[in-house]
């Protein structure tokens, strides 16, 4: 598709929802695809699908756009939902608790899941220092509220080294139940972490995401949007967060759906 | 293992008289089961594996290895706990055809959590340890497909001589004492199959031609008591085998899964069928029979011939007079049709079936595809029947159904629920040859069961014309097939949108055969994938590329949450399979060949002498214990397998706490 002019020239806030990407053959066409490329491909497919049915006139004027792949969005009945386990891994780009709140609200708004069975929080790597409890606590306090509200059942973190994990475990009122670490080290878990996990029934899970949890650098988001719309539609976006979710029939080991939800912002252009 | 009812088996002529009765009532029993249970749904996946073990005796002084005929004794001990109705057993035991075999399964099925995959190896090890505790000095348990010198003189311990004039098999090589003694089923099967066929079974395996192998290779059987039958039935340049024991006395590895419902069972049965030759080729472990190196790496054709009860008329050697049909295959062979209605366009083999039985099934509301499947299985006679069990209640018992169902042995089996249980619709994956170590066997089990999850998640479609699956299965048995052969395989695995939707295929339109592009690929390409350029991610698939089974599994694993230990184990299982597929690790068959041909006592004449056999079996025992490591064959694994689910996993899944599965 060629775009003679920008599709979303006034948009400063965008939410992209891919719906179930298992239909789009991303994973099966190229099973070796990296998590980042998978997300980019999902965004591309979402934008292309969205452009097919969106009303150009309305969207030209919009400052807030929700770009979703409607046919792929699945809502489950209560009966189906009981058998499904929803896991959300939230890739944050800051330690700000308000952004975290917005992300969770957005997940509830777009997925309407009733509850998140497992939330895994992936904190960014701070510049020039190691991540510490001080970084993590504001968001974790929000997590605790959500667990007490039963909107999150089982909370966890990602790539926390043994010491930090223990600190969080001790400081928190609602304890983390899981720590997701990179696949590459799944056979060589540090013994302190392993022991602590055993003693406290903590699940050590695996992931294949890039180090530092930067799943989608903002420049790459900009590129995907530019490529799939008008070149100016991709400019200046700054990614706020990405939520990658899966619904799994856990008793049968079958993934029902996998998708992405993300939010990005950019400053106003041309002041019009 | 088959149906083990108690009672006294009838003679063949009496059994034959009831054939029609058994067939008809078997179908009625199936109809009853089907109508009662066709809507049964099981929320949780349950699955299990079956390992068949061989007992051997090693005499280190005389340097002899023999098959140990203690199966019945050992089994009685092993089953003591089951007989005492103990609960929550870790293992279960069953007899098998031979007196030197025992079959072990997990005590309860594995469940649907990814963490269950981490329990297979530990459970297999527990089974082996249980048997080892009952063995004396010089006695060992092995996981081998076929003891290399079955049928050679004095191959058993205690010694037994074949009795070609009176034994159940009338074999020149295989004595009745080598058949399981604790239940009449197996001897009766051997006898009845022979009597129905009108002659002994005859398997001829092409001999492996080495520089000093006689040309032609012909054996003189007169000194063994041959009355001329063997001289006629044996082929030059072939290794001749004449008993059910050569086939059913082989061991294998099987997996059974319970599907969510009958539709999913039929779907997975179909989808796994094209994978049976691939797994057979990678697991090949049987290059020696009756002390000779053959040109074949697998047991399949031997077992197929060993229970071939077809008469000369049925084999098309004489015009039909007493028998109803010319039948193309032995009752042990590949399946002749896919089961889902959606798969019908790929059923390109003409089916021989009983019209009357088909009509009964159709009248009862069963669809044509399933009806033909059953009517085809039921062209066979029952080959073992117990007097006490001829007249049974079709609504309560399914013995007649099981009788015919369990004496059709194919690469896949579709298993309806037994009456009066909560068990669901199941399928059995049957081609895998058994490997020496628990690690390797667990790897094959995990590979296949994981594939079913991947198939169901991504809605993959492996279907191709079933005649091509047949061709593949023949090819898979060739010497070094995993390295040298190419197999028909579907290229576009994602063409069917949602084949699980009942009665709907491919989003409304029927699955067209034209849509199935099939090409020849090597096992390496099928399992590890084929890319034309080193991976550039997110690039759409180029023509000629193929995703590969292991990359697809890895893609699935990246999506679900595997705990670190399970993932650690699975990674190693998949790495091992990957190396077998690419040939970087030799198959068990290739390793055995190399061991024999490189042995100092080997005479380049294809003969595996008693001395060579002793060294081979002794090394196999060491390998199975992890005491030896062979380059390009052994895989140094350090998996994290456990015999129960970790507390963190149990705590995470309170709803799945269920005593009906292993935990």
Contact call for A206 and B567, based on CB within 8 A: yes
Report the distance separating Cα B490 and Cα A226, nearest Å: 37
Cα Rg of chain A, angstroms: 19
Lowest mean pLDDT among A125-129, A192-196, B304-308, B455-459: A125-129
Report the distance separating Cα B541 and Cα B547, nearest Å: 8
Number of other CB atoms surrounding residue B644 within 10 Å: 13
Residue B43, C-beta contacts closer than 8 angstroms, at least 6 positions apart: A83, A251, A252, B260
Contact call for A254 and B456, based on CB within 8 A: yes
Contact call for B547 and A252, based on CB within 8 A: no
Give me the mean pLDDT over the B419-429 stretch.
Answer: 91
Confidence of residue A115 (pLDDT cuts 50, 70, 90): very high
- Chain B residues with CB under 8 Å of A190 CB are none
- Chain B residues with CB under 8 Å of A180 CB are 561
Contact call for B493 and A254, based on CB within 8 A: no
- Chain A residues with CB under 8 Å of B556 CB are 27, 255
Contact call for B540 and A201, based on CB within 8 A: no
Contact call for residues A89 and A180 (beta carbons, < 8 A): yes
Tell me: pLDDT of B563 over 80. yes
Lowest mean pLDDT among B472-481, B494-503, B516-525: B494-503
pLDDT for the residue B496: 46
Contact call for B651 and A246, based on CB within 8 A: no
- Chain B residues with CB under 8 Å of A249 CB are 112
pLDDT for the residue B247: 97
Residues of A23-59 as b/e, b for ≥16 C-beta within 10 angstroms?
bbbbbbbbbbbbbbbbbbbbbbbbbebbbeebeeeeb
Tell me: pLDDT of B500 over 50. no
* Residue A177 contacts B where some CB pair is shorter than 8 Å: yes
Contact call for B559 and A186, based on CB within 8 A: no
Angle between helix B588-598 and helix B610-624 axes, rounded to 10 deg: 140
Give me the mean pLDDT over the A174-203 stretch.
Answer: 92
Name, of A27-31, B270-274, B504-508, the range with top average pLDDT. B270-274
Q: B554 to chain A: nearest residue by CA?
A: A31
Give me the mean pLDDT over the A170-199 stretch.
Answer: 92
Dmax over CA atoms of chain B, in Å, equals: 71
* Residue A84 contacts B where some CB pair is shorter than 8 Å: no
Task: Give the minimum alpha-carbon distance from B369 to chain A in angstroms, rounded to a whole number.
Answer: 27
- Chain A with chain B: Cβ pairs closer than 8 A: 138
pLDDT for the residue A181: 93
Task: Give the minimum alpha-carbon distance from B655 to chain A in angstroms, rounded to a whole number.
Answer: 9
Q: B654 to chain A: nearest residue by CA?
A: A251
The interface residues of chain A toward chain B in range 40-79, judged by CB-CB distance below 8 A, are: 40-41
* Residue A29 contacts B where some CB pair is shorter than 8 Å: yes
- 3-class state of residue B200 by DSSP: coil
Q: Which single residue is written with the structure tokens 């040939």?
A: B583
pLDDT for the residue B658: 67
pLDDT for the residue A137: 96
Residues of B88-122 as b/e, b for ≥16 C-beta within 10 angstroms?
eebbbbbbbbbbbbbbbbbbbbbbbbbbbbbbbbb
Question: From start to end of B503-611, where are the E strands?
Answer: 518-521
Residue % of chain A over a pLDDT of 90: 78
Confidence of residue B277 (pLDDT cuts 50, 70, 90): very high
pLDDT for the residue B533: 60
- Chain A residues with CB under 8 Å of B425 CB are none
Transcribe B118-173 into DSSP letters: GGHHHHHHHHHHHHHTT--TTEEEE--SS-TTTTSTT-EES-----TTTSSS--SS
Task: Give the minimum alpha-carbon distance from A188 to chain B in angstroms, rounded to a whole number.
Answer: 9
Cα Rg of chain B, angstroms: 24
- Chain B residues with CB under 8 Å of A33 CB are 537-538, 555
- Chain B residues with CB under 8 Å of A203 CB are 563, 648-649, 652
Give me the mean pLDDT over the B378-390 stretch.
Answer: 89
Confidence of residue B656 (pLDDT cuts 50, 70, 90): low
Q: B450 to chain A: nearest residue by CA?
A: A253
Q: A42 to chain B: nearest residue by CA?
A: B538
* Residue A32 contacts B where some CB pair is shorter than 8 Å: yes
Tell me: pLDDT of B192 over 80. yes
Residues in chain A: 272
- 3-class state of residue B320 by DSSP: coil
Q: What is the mean pLDDT of chain A?
A: 92
pLDDT tens readout for residues A215-270? 999 999 999 999 999 999 999 999 999 999 999 998 899 999 999 999 999 998 66
Confidence of residue B90 (pLDDT cuts 50, 70, 90): confident
Contact call for residues B644 and B126 (beta carbons, < 8 A): no
* Residue A199 contacts B where some CB pair is shorter than 8 Å: no
Tell me: pLDDT of B504 over 50. no
pLDDT for the residue A23: 74
Confidence of residue B388 (pLDDT cuts 50, 70, 90): confident
Tell me: pLDDT of B411 over 50. yes
Q: What is the mean pLDDT of chain B?
A: 91
pLDDT tens readout for residues B129-179? 999 999 999 999 999 999 999 999 999 999 999 999 999 999 999 999 999
Contact call for A246 and B560, based on CB within 8 A: yes
pLDDT tens readout for residues A12-39? 999 999 999 987 778 777 888 899 999 9
Lowest mean pLDDT among B254-258, B268-272, B311-315, B386-390: B386-390
Contact call for A252 and B44, based on CB within 8 A: yes
B26 phi and psi angles, rounded to 5 deg: -60, -45
- Chain B residues with CB under 8 Å of A158 CB are none
Report the distance separating Cα A163 and Cα A167, nearest Å: 6
pLDDT for the residue B513: 44
Contact call for B547 and A31, based on CB within 8 A: yes
Task: Give the minimum alpha-carbon distance from B454 to chain A in angstroms, rounded to a whole number.
Answer: 8
Lowest mean pLDDT among A28-37, B408-417, B437-446: A28-37
Contact call for B568 and A186, based on CB within 8 A: yes
Give me the mean pLDDT over the A54-71 stretch.
Answer: 92
pLDDT for the residue B421: 85
């Amino acid at each position: 598709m060629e775009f003679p002019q920008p599709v979303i020239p006034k948009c400063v806030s965008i939410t992209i929802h891919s719906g179930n990407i298992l239909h789009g053959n991303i994973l099966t066409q190229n099973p070796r695809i990296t998590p980042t490329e998978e997300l980019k491909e999902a965004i591309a497919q979402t934008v292309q699908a969205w452009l097919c049915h969106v009303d150009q006139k309305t969207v030209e004027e919009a400052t807030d756009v929700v770009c979703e792949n409607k046919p792929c969005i699945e809502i489950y009945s209560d009966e189906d939902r009981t058998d499904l386990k929803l896991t959300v891994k939230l890739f944050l780009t800051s330690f700000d608790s308000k952004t975290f709140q917005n992300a969770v609200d957005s997940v509830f708004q777009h997925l309407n899941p009733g509850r998140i069975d497992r939330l895994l929080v992936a904190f960014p790597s701070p510049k020039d220092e190691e991540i510490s409890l001080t970084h993590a606590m504001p968001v974790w306090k929000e997590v605790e509220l959500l667990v007490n509200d039963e909107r999150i059942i089982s909370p966890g973190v990602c790539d926390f080294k043994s010491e930090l994990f223990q600190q969080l475990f001790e400081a928190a009122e609602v304890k983390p139940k899981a720590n997701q670490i990179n696949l590459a080290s799944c056979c060589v878990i540090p013994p302190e972490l392993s022991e602590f996990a055993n003693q406290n029934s903590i699940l050590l899970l695996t992931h294949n995401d890039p180090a530092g949890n930067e799943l989608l650098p903002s420049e790459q988001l900009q590129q995907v949007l530019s490529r799939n719309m008008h070149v100016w539609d991709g400019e200046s976006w700054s990614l706020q967060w990405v939520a990658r979710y899966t619904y799994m029939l856990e008793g049968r080991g079958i993934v029902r759906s996998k998708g992405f939800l993300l939010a990005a912002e950019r400053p106003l252009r041309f002041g019009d | 293992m088959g149906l083990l009812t108690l009672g006294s088996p009838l003679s063949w002529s009496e059994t034959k008289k009831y054939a029609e009765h058994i067939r008809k009532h078997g179908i009625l029993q199936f109809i009853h089961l089907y109508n009662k249970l066709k809507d049964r749904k099981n929320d949780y996946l349950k699955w299990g594996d079956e390992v068949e073990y061989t007992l051997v005796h090693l005499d280190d002084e005389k340097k002899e290895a023999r098959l140990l005929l203690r199966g019945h004794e050992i089994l009685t001990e092993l089953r003591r706990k089951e007989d005492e109705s103990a609960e929550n057993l870790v293992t279960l035991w069953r007899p098998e055809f031979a007196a030197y075999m025992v079959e072990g399964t997990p005590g309860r099925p594995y469940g649907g959590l990814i963490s269950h995959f981490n329990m297979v190896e530990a459970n297999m090890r527990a089974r082996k340890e249980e048997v080892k505790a009952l063995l004396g000095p010089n006695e060992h348990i092995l996981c081998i497909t076929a003891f290399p010198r079955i049928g050679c003189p004095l191959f058993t311990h205690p010694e037994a001589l074949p009795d070609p004039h009176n034994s159940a098999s009338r074999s020149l090589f295989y004595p009745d004492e080598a058949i399981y003694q604790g239940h009449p089923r197996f001897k009766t099967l051997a006898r009845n199959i022979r009597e129905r066929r009108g002659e002994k079974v005859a398997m001829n395996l092409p001999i492996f031609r080495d520089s000093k192998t006689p040309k032609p290779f012909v054996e003189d059987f007169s000194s063994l008591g041959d009355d001329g039958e063997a001289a006629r039935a044996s082929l030059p340049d072939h290794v001749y085998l004449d008993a059910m024991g050569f086939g059913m006395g082989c061991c294998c590895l099987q997996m059974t899964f319970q599907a969510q419902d009958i539709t999913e069972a039929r779907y997975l049965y179909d989808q796994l069928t094209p994978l049976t030759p691939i797994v057979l080729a990678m697991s090949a472990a049987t290059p020696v029979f009756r002390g000779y190196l053959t040109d074949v790496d697998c047991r399949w054709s031997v077992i197929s011939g060993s229970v071939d009860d077809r008469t000369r008329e049925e084999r098309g050697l004489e015009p039909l007079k007493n028998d109803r049909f010319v039948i193309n295959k032995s009752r042990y062979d590949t399946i002749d049709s896919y089961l889902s209605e959606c798969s019908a366009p790929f059923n390109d083999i003409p089916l021989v079936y009983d019209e009357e039985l088909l009509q009964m099934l159709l009248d009862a509301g069963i669809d044509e595809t399933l009806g033909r499947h059953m009517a085809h299985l039921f062209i066979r006679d029952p080959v073992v029947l117990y007097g006490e069990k001829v007249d049974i209640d079709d609504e309560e018992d399914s013995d007649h159904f099981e009788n015919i169902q369990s004496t059709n042995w194919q690469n896949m089996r579709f298993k309806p629920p037994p009456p009066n249980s909560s068990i669901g619709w199941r399928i059995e994956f049957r081609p895998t040859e058994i490997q020496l170590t628990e690690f390797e066997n667990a790897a094959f089990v995990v590979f296949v069961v994981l594939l079913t999850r991947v198939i169901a998640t991504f809605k993959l479609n492996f279907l191709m014309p079933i005649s091509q699956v047949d061709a593949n299965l023949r090819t898979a048995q060739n010497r070094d097939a995993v390295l040298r052969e190419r197999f028909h395989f579907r290229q576009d695995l994602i063409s069917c949108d949602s084949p699980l939707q009942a009665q709907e295929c491919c989003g409304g339109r029927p699955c067209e055969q034209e849509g199935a592009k099939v090409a020849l690929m090597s096992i390496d390409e099928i399992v590890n994938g084929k890319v034309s350029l080193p991976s550039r991610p997110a690039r759409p698939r180029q023509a000629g590329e193929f995703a590969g089974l292991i990359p697809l599994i890895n893609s699935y694993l990246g999506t679900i949450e595997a705990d670190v230990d399970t993932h650690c184990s699975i990674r190693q299982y998949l790495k091992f399979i990957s190396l077998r597929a690419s040939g970087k690790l030799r198959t068990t068959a290739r390793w055995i060949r190399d061991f024999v041909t490189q042995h100092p006592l080997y005479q380049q004449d294809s003969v595996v002498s008693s001395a060579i056999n002793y060294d081979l079996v002794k090394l196999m025992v060491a390998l199975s214990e992890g005491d030896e490591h062979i380059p390009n064959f052994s895989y140094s694994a350090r998996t994290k397998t456990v015999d129960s689910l970790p507390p963190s996993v149990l705590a995470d899944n309170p709803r799945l706490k269920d005593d009906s599965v292993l935990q």
